[in-house]
Amino acid sequence: MMMTNMMTNMMINMMTIMMTSMIMEKKNIDKNIMRRKKYLLIIVLIIRVV
């Protein structure tokens, strides 16, 4: 059960990251800022999962 929960959480997290990055790209935010925000999101998600 725990493993499936982790997997679903990971899937949801990936979906949210993709959605946010798409929205940011639409707003034409600088590429460097984009990259930093993506890394921040990934780090936050890793912390949340652990």
Model confidence over 1-50: pLDDT tens digits? 566 888 888 888 888 888 887 776 776 656 667 678 888 888 888 888 76
List the domain boundaries for the chain.
1-49
Structure tokens at 37: 């925000």
d(CA 32, CA 24): 12
Distance CA 7, CA 16 (A): 14
What local confidence, expressed as pLDDT, does residue 27 receive? 66
Q: What is the pLDDT of residue 30?
A: 63
Report the alpha-carbon angle 16-41-11, nearest 5.
35
pLDDT of residue 1: 56
